[in-house]
Structure 1
Amino acid sequence: MTTTADPVASPQDEFQPAGGRLERGLIWVFIVVPTLALLPAIYFAWGGWISWRDVVLLVVFYVLTTTGIGVGYHRLFTHSAFKSKRGLKIALAIAGSMALEGPVIRWVADHRKHHKYADRDGDPHSPWRYGTSAWAVTKGFVFAHVGWVLWGEERADPKRYAPDLLNDRDMASISGMFRQLAVLSLLAPALIGGLWDRSWHGAATGFFWGTLVRIALMHHVTFSINSICHVTGRKPFAARDRSGNVWWLAVLSQGESWHNLHHADPTCARHGVLRGQVDINAWLIKRFERFGWAYDVKWPDKERLKKKRTALV
């Protein structure tokens, strides 16, 4: 991946402080509150306090926002794995914003810096930042999973890592509308659930399952790519970091957990390139390509993959 970073600059020269008190407070709310909802969710589900309507809201909003992050924020905006028509570009940016992982330009800048310094000094969220002892990796795992967002002090400078998006009027506008899109993401399941059931009960359960539980699941699946996929997993391709493939996250992450190939070939539009590797995001990109909404897709190159192939470990 190409960035505009000065090759002689140090990692410490390439950050800007994390946002102010309001932004940090919102991050805590968006992450902590939905996570706290997971335990009662198990109890309520077991007790039958979930209807097929709630399941539909949970699944639809989960797929919508997971696609926005995986296909939009990650494969399109960060790595340019394909080009898209303006309508699809805007739709993916809005869907990604509704995942409540931050504005698109901020997210892309952080992720591009992650790739530049993956598992080395300067990586915003490497689980190996404190060392390789059991305690160091445990502490690093927590930081990589969620700590870097909640209390980390350094974030990538968008002017250095995402100038292309800063100069894109659509992306700049959508990034500026992040708070409004966050409100939409929070309230839409409750509104739909209430109108669907014509009751406050429908609104309450819609909010619980379609908002709180959906956000918690989506966040921790995404965070697991930073933490779990950089601590464990098979490494069939040569990469300059510790990224691994974690098969049991593949469906929930829509293919993002085939992380070893992604770090070996970041601009590839398909991450699950080996037999039996489910990659829902690649399937969606293929559909977008057939509809004419996506083009210049960087599909896997057999010769390139062959050169990067290692012994399966």
Structure 2
Amino acid sequence: MTTDHDPDRPAVSGDETVKSEPRRKTIDSPYIHRLQRRHFLIFDVLPIFGTVAAVAFLLVRPFGIVDFALLFVMWVVTGLGITVGYHRLFTHRTFKAAPWVGAGLAIMGSMAGQGAVVSWVALHRRHHEYSDRAGDPHSPNLSGAGWGGRLRGLMHSHFLWMRRHEYPNVVHYAPDLLKDRGLVRVARLYYWWVGLGLLIPTVLGGLLTLSWTGTVAGLLWGGFARMFILEHTVWAINSFLHMFGTRAYESRENSHNGGVFALLTFGESWHNNHHAFPTSPSFGLNWYRLDPGYWLIRSLAALGLAWDLELPSDERMAAKRISGKSTAAGNAAAA
């Protein structure tokens, strides 16, 4: 990434040369930590209790087709918003899209409750910069050796890191997004979009069943349980897939593939593929690997709403391929 001004280069004004301070990559302040704790409690902890309440509500109202439809549709909408919008479009710029398509994907991703789009992108770009090294916000491999260290690492990377962490400076990590006024407006309304993601299934649950129990069930299943399921599948990529799975390609970190979870994660579980080729819009890389996120991008491209989809060449993939090596050997190569 480049910015309009290199902070390490002296700024010249007339005959004077003024040395500027290097731009800080992270911001660490009590105010930001309070915001992080609040977000953690509301959007990460509360869905756990909401899911427990949904299960308990089965004593009042059995799980029905309306509940399943609301859960499934909202999960698909918000999940695609994260993988196609937040991740592949805005973080890695793996394709280009019409402005209204980008705004729609950002809203869909915002309803997942995983953070505003600009902050999410900054965090993920920092993750790629320091993956599995000091500075990575959520590596499971930096908490010591042995089973105790691995368990601490998994707990940290899967869930606990969100309580308090250094906040990536969005001016450094996401200057391109800050120049997009429409996207910044969407990001500023983040809490409203999360509320909309809870309101939609609540209202539809009531209207489709014409009952207050359907209204409550819509909120619990299409709202909180949907958030819980999506969050933990996304977080498992940060945690488990940086410890376990298969490695098809050489990469400098400890990323792995978990192809069995490809549909559940909208293609995100081809994680080693992604780290090896982060600018590829396809995480599966081959047609026979399930990748619903790429299917949506291809559909948008067929409609003329997305373009500049560049997959790595066969030669480039062959150069990085780990041939005849076991997962253990792949792990050693990444260490």
SS in 2 for 1:153: coil
2:279 is aligned, of 267, 279, 282, to: 267
What's 2:19 paired with?
none
Indicate the residue corresponding to 1:36 in structure 2: 49
- Which of 200, 204, 210 aligns to 2:222? It is 210
Equivalent residues in 2 for 1:224-239 (5 A)? Answer: 224-239=236-251
Call closer, same or farther: CA 1:143–1:74 in 2, change over 3 Å.
Answer: same
Q: Report sequence identity in percent.
A: 38
Deviation at 1:148, TM superposition (A): 1.3
Letter aligned with residue 32 of structure 1? V
| Counterpart check, 1:24 vs 2:34 | no
CA distance in 2, matches of 1:193, 1:278: 31
Match of 1:61 in 2: 74
- 3-state secondary structure, aligned to 1:229: helix
Does the 8 A contact of 1:244 with 1:260 survive in 2? yes
Tell me the distance in 1 between the aligned counterparts of 2:295 and 2:83. 12
Q: Is the 8 A contact 1:66 1:254 kept in 2?
A: yes
Per the alignment, residue 88 of structure 1 pairs with: 101
Deviations 1:63-120 (A, max 9, x none): 0000000000000000000000111111001001101000000000000000001000
Aligned residues: 308
Residue 200 (structure 2) aligns with: 188
In the TM superposition, what is the alpha-carbon distance from 1:131 to its structure 2 partner? 2.4
Query: Aligned partners of 1:284 and 1:215: how far apart in 2?
Result: 21
- Unmatched 5+ residue regions in structure 1? none
Paired position in structure 2 for 1:244: 256
Q: Which residue of 2 aligns with 1:114?
A: 127
Gaps of 5+ in 2: 9-22, 327-335
* Residue 65 (structure 2) pairs with residue 52 (structure 1): yes
Deviation at 1:247, TM superposition (A): 2.0
State the SS of the aligned residue for 2:282. coil
TM-score of the pair, normalised by structure 2: 0.86
- Which of 12, 15, 22 aligns to 2:26? It is 15
What residue number does 2:158 align with?
Answer: 145
Q: 2:304 aligned to 284, 292, 296, which one?
A: 292
Shift of 1:41: 4.5
In the TM superposition, what whole-angstrom CA distance separates every residue of 1:252-300 from its partner, at most 9, and x where no partner exists? 1110010001000100011112464210101111101000000001223
What TM-score do you get using the length of structure 1 for normalisation? 0.92
The change in CA–CA distance for 1:200 and 1:39 in structure 2 (over 3 A counts) is closer
Amino acid at match of 1:62: W
Q: Does 1:163 align with 2:179?
A: no
- Largest Rg, 1 or 2: 2
